[in-house]
Amino acid sequence: MAPAEFWDRTQLYEQVWKQPMSKLARTYGISDVALAKVCRRLKIPLPGRGYWAKPVYRRPKRPPLPAVPDMPRISRPIRRKLNSENAVPAVVPMSDAKQAELALIQRLEKFEIGSLDPLASEPDALVKRTCRALARGSTDGRKVLCPRAGDTCVDVRVSKQSLDRALGILDRLLAILRAEGLSVTVASNGRESTRVQILNQEVRFGLLERVRQFRPDTETKSTNRFTSIFDRPPMEYEPTGELCFQIWNSCQNVRRGWHDTKHQTLEQMVYKFVAGMVRVAQRERHEAEQRRIDAERHRQEEVFRRKHLEELALLKGQIEGEELRVRRLEEAASNWIRAKHIRDYVIALIEYKTKQGHKLVPKSALAKWALWAMEQADRLDPLAESPSSVLDRRRELSGERR
């Protein structure tokens, strides 16, 4: 048991009028509610609501400490201070793998480039393939280049005017990934098909150009103000030249998009984008681990639920069996009492008939009736052998067999 000491009533009275109760309670290691209960037990007057929010000159005068004879002593636990041996570390130490990942992210986020000089003398092979595929392709309704069917390339969705810049940024990105030991693969010819393996997680990304949507002005305007929306000219699209990196993974609470701003271009954010992909991979790994833990928990809950249902089914069978035994016992006891009553009645009737002058001879009606009544009592009595009766053939009327 923890050691204890007693509250000093005078000292506590001075303290509660010098600082708020919540702050004073922390010094004693208890809550302000518990400290207020102690003050009420010691008959210590407390500041009213809003006392500490008022200016000093507007605070009411504190009441004196009332004298209470035979005040009981109230003990309080001693708050022990943690020493170096039993102190609990405030921060859980991070594993070596987590420290390496954090160092990689910090290094990538702090490194910024101002030019777009490639790290290698020749462009990456995947960049060349993407250039050829988009050059042979066509533009869609949004004026964005699309590769032909069968051409495999990186997920780049830009206009013809922004193609050279996009390929330069892509070349820089692939060079950084290659320097970090990461390779890019293209699963198929389609959107969201470009991915990189980071921390055993697939991160899907693409390079896009933002497109502005507008409705062209027409020279002739209808005078009818109730013109149908189907009479309006179709929407048109115009590439803005603003490029952006996009990560397609659906993880939450992590940044997944980088685009040109007034202060920074996308060329200056390549390293930050790689750091963002590492963060997304971390989040994906965390969510996968959380899903695995949730699935294991659900599996265990299902096992416990099934086991509980089996136990309930077994208990139900035991209860039903016990209830059946009880009913049979009560029925047997009831039949035994009924048989006893019948025998007593037969004996009393014979005595009554004998007093009236009837003789109990073997072939008399009274003897035959008494023998039949005793047989019926034996049929009810669970302790006697049941004689045969025509009632046993009742099942033959409904076609039942024994």
Burial class (CB in 10 A: 0-12, 13-18, 19+), 278: buried
Nearby residues of 4 by Cβ (< 8 Å), 6 or more positions away: 75, 76, 77, 78
pLDDT number for residue 116:
42
pLDDT number for residue 112:
57
Tell me the two tokens of residue 203.
């991160």
Q: Cα-flanking dihedrals φ and ψ of residue 207, to 5°?
A: -115, 120
Report the residue count for the chain.
402
pTM for the predicted model, two decimal places: 0.56
Tell me the three state secondary structure of residue 268.
helix
User: What string of pLDDT tens digits covers the 402 residues of the chain?
Assistant: 445 578 888 888 999 998 898 888 888 888 888 888 888 888 899 988 888 888 887 888 889 988 888 787 888 766 554 444 444 445 557 777 888 888 888 888 777 554 444 454 567 888 988 898 888 888 888 889 888 877 888 999 999 999 999 999 999 999 999 888 888 998 876 678 899 999 889 999 999 999 998 887 655 455 555 555 566 678 888 899 999 999 999 888 889 999 998 888 999 889 999 999 999 999 999 999 999 999 999 999 999 999 999 999 999 999 999 999 999 999 999 999 999 999 999 999 999 988 888 888 888 888 899 999 999 999 999 999 989 888 888 888 876 554
Answer for the pair 160, 146: CB distance below 8 angstroms, yes or no: no
Which amino acid appears at position 246 of this protein?
Answer: Q
* Annotated domain spans of the chain: 4-77, 97-215+233-290
Tell me the three state secondary structure of residue 256.
coil
DSSP lists the bridge partners of residue 214 as: 236
